[in-house]
Every structure is written in C-alpha cells, then in structure tokens.
Structure 1
C-alpha cells in the first residue's frame, strides 16, 4: 500500500510540473475512470442488464471524462467524442459477432485449477462480456487517436484558413497514418506484456506452437489485439471526415456572418 501511495505522489508531481492544470485534471480523471469501471462491473453482474448496453454507456462516460473533463468542451473535443461513439458502436457489433463465432469466451483449461473451488454458474453471458472487455481495453487508445487528429487538423486549419474540405480530410488521414503504426504496436506490447508470465508457463509446459495458437487464452488475447487495431484504424477516417465537414461548415458560417455585416 505504501508503494502505491509513493508512486501516486510521484505521478501527481510529474503531471503537475509537466502538464500544469491539465496534468492535474488528467490525474484526477484516473480515479473517475477507475470508479466508472467498478460501476460497470457491478452493473454487468446484474442478470437484468445487457452487458453490451452497459459497455456502450460506460464507454461514452469514459470518453466524456477523457475528452471534456481534461480538454474542456470545444469543437475539437465534441468532434472527437462523436467519432469515438460511432467507432465504438461499429466495433461493438463486430466484436460481438467475432466473439460468438470464435468461441473464445469464458475460461481456458489453464485456469481450471484456480477456479476449481468456485461455481461458474454466475448468470452472465460470457460472449458479451468478452466483447465488452475488448471495447474497454481499447477505449483509451481510440479517444487518444481521435483527439490527436482533431487537434492537428485544427492547427492545419489555423495555418491554412482557406483549405478545402477534401484537403483538410486528406491532412487528417496523413496524420492518422503516422499515428496508426505506433498505436497498434503500443496495444500489441501492452497486451502481451500483461501475459508474459503465461507465455513463460506455456514454455515450461512444453506447449507446441500449435497448442499455444489454439489455446483459448492466447486466441482471446490475439482477437483483442486485432480488434483493438481495427478500432484504431477505423477512428482515423471517421474522425478526419467528421472534423473536416464540421470545421469547413463552421468557417462557411463565419464567412456568411461577416458578409452580412458588411
């Protein structure tokens, strides 16, 4: 517990010194997000609640915290929020189908010893829980890409106020291409880093490559990585198009107002 307090203090000091007020907001948002995740888990345990709906609402709230609480309410954050919601809905429907077809939900045989004393009749749909896990695991990366693109496109519009909607969209796509590779690899190493001990265990158990690939735990993890990458790839064109449309539309409205005033 003392180590957690010390690390929290160090993180807070660094975020305060480097990020200022926004850094403090980012630190506070960690606790808000943690509380939201705990609430999401409790709601999923209710047999009358649909995990997919709970995940969608939870993702929307987490996106609000990450975008509006940290970066204030403006056109950039509003566009990023709308793009995030659209991407989450598409990804949620896709992941639900993939989880059902792949049958990777639930627990693997490697976990049977730890779960032997517990009842698995918990009354929840593990296929939907599996889809929810993927969405919650990727919501941070999706919002990060969305706000990065809208902010960069905003700077492009400021330096080139007469840029066309098509050129602004292509600018967002070029920015997204630079982000795509690094974010996908970040997700890959983050997920695999958490399961490094499991891979070592597979080696000690003399699992062949085929056994590892066909393991339910490994397959579920790979599906999570691929779906997360799909989400990061989807958010780029969605954010670029929505931001280009509304940015140029707002510029046209301002030009109309100036013309009427003259």
Structure 2
C-alpha cells in the first residue's frame, strides 16, 4: 500500500511541477558535474583557438600551384547553362561509340553560346532532358593560343529546385510535429553544420590533428546543441557529460582499432585526390570520421538515459540509487538494441554500391572483409557501436549519482 501511495504521490507532483524541480541534487554532485563541464568547455575553447585555420588551405594550395590548382586554376569559372538537346547514351542500338552519343547540347547562360558536351552515360540514364539546367566548367583559352577560345566541360547537374522543396518539406514536418523543440533542434543542426564546414574541414586541410579536431568540434557542437534543444538544467548537463565521455571512448577505441587493423584511411578516389596534398594524416582523418559519425546517435541515447533517471527519481523519490540505475538500464538496453540496428543499416545504406561491387567478386565474405574498403566500414560500425553501448551505463550511472534520493519521501515502488 505504501508503495502504491508513493508512486501516486510522485505522479501528482509531476502534474503540478516540472520534473526537474522534484529532483534533489547534492551540492557536492552539482559542483563536481559543473566543474567537469567547465573544464571540458575550457578545453574546447582552447582547441578552437589553437587549431583555428589561418585560411583556406585549398586556396593556398591552388595559389602555390599545388594539387588544388586543377580545381581552382586562374580564369576557370563555373557558368550555368540550359540543356536544349540530349543525345542517346552510347551503347544504344545502332549507336556505336564515337557517333556523338552520350552528349548534351547546352546554351551557356549570359553568353548565348551553344556547346556540345560529352557526359558519362549515367548522366543520360538519370533522365536529364531539355529544359534542365547544368553547371559547366569553363577553361579559358591558353595565353599562347587565344584563337582557340574557351573550352567547356560538364561539371554537374543543377538540383537546387529539388533540394529546396525537400528542405522546406523537412523543416515544415519538423516544425509541425515537434514545434518549439523542432525549431531548437533545427538551430542546433545549423550550428553543427557551421562548425563542420567553417572550422572542422579547414582545420583538417590545414594539417591539424584529426582526433584533436574531432574531439574539439564534437564537444563544441554538443555544448550548443544540447543546451539549445533541451534547455539549461542539470539533467541536460548530465546528458552532456555522458556524451562527452562517450565521444572520448569512441575516439580512443577508434585510434586503437585503426592502428591495429593497419587501415590507411584512403579507400576511394576522393581520398586519393586529397592524398596528393602530401601533408594529411589519413589514419587520423579516419579517426575524426569515426567520432563525427557516431555523434548524433550518441546524443540520442545519453539524453534518453538522463531523462529516464530523472523521471524514475521523480516518481520514486525514496528509491536507492542502485534501484534507479537498474530500472533505467532496462530502458537503456532496449534503446541499445534498436539503435545498433540504426547504425548498422545506416552504414549498409551508405556503402551499398561498395557492397555490391565486392559481392560480384564471388569470394567468401571472410576473405573480402579484410579489404580496405570493407574493413573501414566494419571498423567504423563497430567502434561507434561500442562507444554508443558504453555511453549508456556511463550516463545512467552519472545521472543516478546526481539525482539523489529524498529521505523524507515515502518508500518508492521500483523493483530490481
């Protein structure tokens, strides 16, 4: 009967007050938590300052005639054009290679010039048609032969229209369903994008250590995203502490795994192009990628576990820390199971073409798993999953320690 009254009493209070107001936080626990987060914040700010990129590494490489020069050579521009004609792809019936197939006829914007461009067959297969817009790469005539005129090549199909309506749909759905929380989440997402594009990538191109940059940027993003989305509270601070510990664990395990597996970090054409810069540590870049890849899912589980402990403590204020921890871990185990599926199938989706290519080799999976491409994906999946799983008990334990029992409360009904 007492157990029933205690649980009911907790629910009646939750109807009147916010859950955070019902939790008793010990002074020592509060000070230790906030002191640890303050140190983490100072370390983050120091990392941002120390590795602040002095400029655009790609631009500097181009100016010096380095590897980026082929993409940013003087005089090269990227005009738009409208497709006015499409030739059937090469390999079609009655169209031998070299017959003018797989070409686009494009009217260059602002110049009125009409040019014919060779394009990969897959561009034709994508359904491109007259009226679509493409981006061209215009190379000026050589200085010693100006009579040759500028040359054009296909660079990309313009997809702004699709991206705009899809982005608007995404924002509308988030705001309609999540409302203020959704808006705050979008603000956090925008901040994360700013950090990645204007700090993380330039810092990496400038030769900053990959794991250090990953820890700094991940910490900066989490400080802003968590407090912006979930508000300033000790519950959010506990989730933040668990997230930061999970990030450190992921980075440490990732560094060990990458070195032990002798991964190079160069598994595709993009990596090979960047390797021509000559100063990048690709194993460290892979370690950075591991940390960033698991960031969103890690944040999800730590917030869930902190909230679970807070709710359990509010409902059963007299329960022991062990009882609250055990109950919250039951929630965490279910979350771990579903989240691991999310991670694994997300990587399967992104690496689908690679998996198909390896599948046609007609070799046993255990032999293919050691290839650079597949081993990198396996390490990425396992490392982020291990970091995620370890973050659950760590965050739950922190939350259970901070959310103290109330001695004056009625006995609670949590069972272990």
Distance 2:271 2:285 in 1: 18
TM-score w.r.t. length of structure 2: 0.57
Alignment root-mean-square deviation, CA? 2.1
After TM superposition, the structure 1 = structure 2 runs for residues 220-231 of structure 1, keeping only pairs within 5 Å, are: 220-231=376-387
Larger helix share, 1 or 2: 1
Distance 2:274 2:174 in 1: 42
CA contact (8 A) 1:40 1:54 kept: yes
1:92 corresponds to 2:248: no
Distance 1:169 1:157 in 2: 10
1:133 corresponds to 2:289: yes
1:46 corresponds to 2:46: no
Count of aligned pairs between the two proteins: 249
Structure-2 residue corresponding to 1:62: 221
CA contact (8 A) 1:96 1:131 kept: yes
Show structure 1 runs of 5+ residues with no match. Answer: 256-262
**CA 117–77 in structure 1, closer or farther in 2 if over 3 Å, else same:** closer
Which deviations, in whole Å up to 9, do the C-alpha atoms of 1:166-210 show, x marking residues without a partner?
A: 111112211110101100110000011001011122234545434
Structure-2 residue corresponding to 1:238: 394
Which deviations, in whole Å up to 9, do the C-alpha atoms of 1:35-72 show, x marking residues without a partner?
A: 1111211111122x222211111111121233111111
Distance 1:103 1:223 in 2: 11
CA drift at 1:117 = 6.9
CA contact (8 A) 1:172 1:236 kept: no
1:189 corresponds to 2:348: no
CA drift at 1:89 = 1.5
Distance 1:115 1:128 in 2: 13
Between 1:17-26 and 1:200-209, the stretch displaced more is: 200-209
1:156 corresponds to 2:316: no
CA contact (8 A) 1:80 1:239 kept: yes
Between 1:89-98 and 1:203-212, the stretch displaced more is: 203-212
Structure-1 residue corresponding to 2:357: 201
Distance 2:212 2:271 in 1: 28
Distance 2:368 2:201 in 1: 29
CA contact (8 A) 1:16 1:24 kept: yes
TM-score w.r.t. length of structure 1: 0.88
Distance 1:187 1:63 in 2: 19
Distance 2:364 2:254 in 1: 28
Distance 1:116 1:83 in 2: 36
Structure-2 residue corresponding to 1:101: 260
Distance 1:115 1:167 in 2: 50
CA contact (8 A) 1:63 1:81 kept: yes
**CA 167–94 in structure 1, closer or farther in 2 if over 3 Å, else same:** same
Q: Which protein shows a greater Rg?
A: 2
Distance 1:155 1:34 in 2: 32
**CA 30–134 in structure 1, closer or farther in 2 if over 3 Å, else same:** same
Structure-1 residue corresponding to 2:237: 78
Distance 2:278 2:266 in 1: 13
**CA 118–207 in structure 1, closer or farther in 2 if over 3 Å, else same:** farther
CA drift at 1:90 = 2.3
Structure-1 residue corresponding to 2:29: none
